[in-house]
Amino acid sequence: MTQETWSGWFENVPGYLDSASIGLPPTAAVDAVVAALESWRHGRARPQDYDEYVDRGRRAWAAIAGVPAETVAVGSTVSGLVGPIASSLADGSNVLVAAGDFTSVLFPFLAQQEQGRLTVREVSLEDLPASVDEHTDLVAVSAVQSADGRRVDVEALLEAAAQHGARVLLDVTQSCGWLPLDCSRVDYVVCAGYKWLLCPRGVAFLAVRPQGDGAVGQGRRSGHARHPAKGRRHGQAVCAPSRLAGPGCLTQCAPCPVPPRHRS
């Protein structure tokens, strides 16, 4: 595609360089949002009419991220999608993060640490792959740092995680759309759409790699399969990926009748 072709899709905003904060919307996206608001305003909005757009969004993002569409949940914020992963990790799990990473990646795990459930270890971004060890259950990191654009070595990280039986959560909010990344080997991929994907606010995606045991996290209770690299017991799913991938996605899990602390 040439610049002439795509520049016609946008308003002329010379010098706009702030997609890392908020991406500029294509005119067609603004028109679609306005049409949806008009339909809502005039009492014509019907829930089922939104499904097609949610599904198209899910498929489009899955194609960019290199993950199967049926593993993708649609949500509204990264923090809201990371929260259930943090809360579904088994008690006593160790989470490795990059110091200074974006709050939506860090805080869900720090909140669980504050409750005494998890241990969060912060290291510098550059040291992250080498810091994965046999105690690490999950590594959570942004592929590109929000604060300064630094990139994690994803290949080295995936290799180290595989070697030590750790899972990887990768936030691709600041990379998806401009940095080609094959996320098919990543356990959890999260992404907010309002930056490089040029979506309105309130669009976010989570891909959960099928784990064999169907778990979102590693589960909170003992009594299930043991991870070969650790001897740790895995629990059952809090929400199986197939549930997450349904049309209402994560929001369908929210009214789950089982209180979060007691889900297995």
Ligand X SMILES: Cc1ncc(COP(=O)(O)O)c(C=O)c1O
Among 62, 90, 204, 244, binds ligand X (CB under 6 A): 204
Query: Which run of H or of E encompasses 221?
Result: none
- Quote the CA–CA distance of 250 and 248 in Å, as a whole number: 6
Going from the C-alpha of 127 to that of each of 83, 101, 124, 156, 158, the distances in angstroms are: 25, 13, 5, 11, 14
The reply on whether position 152 binds ligand X by CB under 6 A is no
Give the distance from CA 163 to its chain's centroid.
23
| Closest-approach residue to ligand X (CB) | 146
Stretch that binds ligand X, among 86-94, 114-122, 124-132, 169-177 (CB under 6 A): 169-177
98 SS3 class: strand
Alpha helices in 168-248 (DSSP H): 241-244
> In terms of CB distance, is 62 or 140 closer to ligand X?
140
Give the nearest distance from C-beta 95 to ligand X in angstroms: 16
Please, which residue, 143 or 161, has the CB nearer to ligand X? 143
Q: Confirm or reject binding of residue 175 to ligand X (CB under 6 A).
A: no
Give exposure, 19-40, as e/b (b: 16+ Cβ within 10 Å). Answer: beeebebeeebeeeeeeeeeee
Site for ligand X in 124-143 (CB under 6 A): 142
Among 93, 171, 187, 188, contact with ligand X (rule: CB under 6 A): 171
Q: How many Cα neighbours within 13 Å face the side chain of 245?
A: 19
Shortest Cβ distance from residue 174 to ligand X (Å)?
Answer: 5
- Which residue, 176 or 253, has its beta carbon nearer to ligand X? 176
Listed in sequence order, the residues at least 6 apart from 57 whose beta carbon sits closer than 8 Å to its beta carbon are: 74, 193, 199, 203, 205
Tell me the C-alpha to C-alpha distance, in Å, between residue 170 and each of 41, 115, 175. 38, 24, 11
Query: Which of residues 87, 88, 112, 146 is near ligand X by CB under 6 A?
Result: 146
| Residue 206 binds ligand X (CB under 6 A) | no
- Interface residues for ligand X in 57-116 (CB under 6 A)? 77-79, 102, 104
Q: How many residues bind ligand X (CB under 6 A)?
A: 12
Which stretches of the chain bind ligand X, using CB under 6 A?
77-79, 102, 104, 142, 146, 171, 173-174, 192, 204
